[in-house]
Every structure is written in C-alpha cells, then in structure tokens.
Amino acid sequence: MWELDMFGKTRRNAEAAQARLEARMDDWHYAHISLSAEVADTYVQYRGCIQLRQAYEQEAISKSQTAAATKSAV
C-alpha cells in the first residue's frame, strides 16, 4: 500500500536513517584508526624497552669485564 508523503515525513525518516548509518560507520572508522594508533604506539614502546634492556645487558657485561680486568691487574 502506498501513501502520499505530503509533508516529507517518510523522506525525512529515510534521510535520518541514512545519517545515523553514516554516523555509525564514521564511529567504526575512527575507532579502527584509534586502535591502530594504540597498537603502533605500544609496539614502539615495546621495541624501545627491548633496546634499553639490551643496552643494560651490555653495560653489565662491560662492568663485569672491567671488574675482572681490574682484579687480575691488582
């Protein structure tokens, strides 16, 4: 059954539904971007921690070697 849309109510409802759909799609898009940025930031921090740990390990080895060399020299 067809009704005349004399005041544009049906058209406005359809436009509102389309606007809500587009808003939901935008929300999903921005959430995806935000999550991707968080993952990238966490990965960069993780890699920084790995490099820092390696530097500390090298420093500990160097200090141990220096202590051993000093002990044998004395």
Tens-place pLDDT, residues 22-74: 999 999 999 999 999 999 999 999 999 999 999 999 999 999 999 999 988 87
What gap in Å lies between CA 74 and CA 48, rounded to an integer?
39
What gap in Å lies between CA 7 and CA 13, rounded to an integer?
11
The amino acid present at 67, given as its one-letter code, is A
> In sequence order, which residues have a C-beta less than 8 Å from that of residue 11 and are 6 or more positions away?
5
- Answer yes or no: is pLDDT of 6 > 80: no
- CB–CB of 11/3 below 8 Å? no
Tokens representing residue 13 in the block: 């409802």
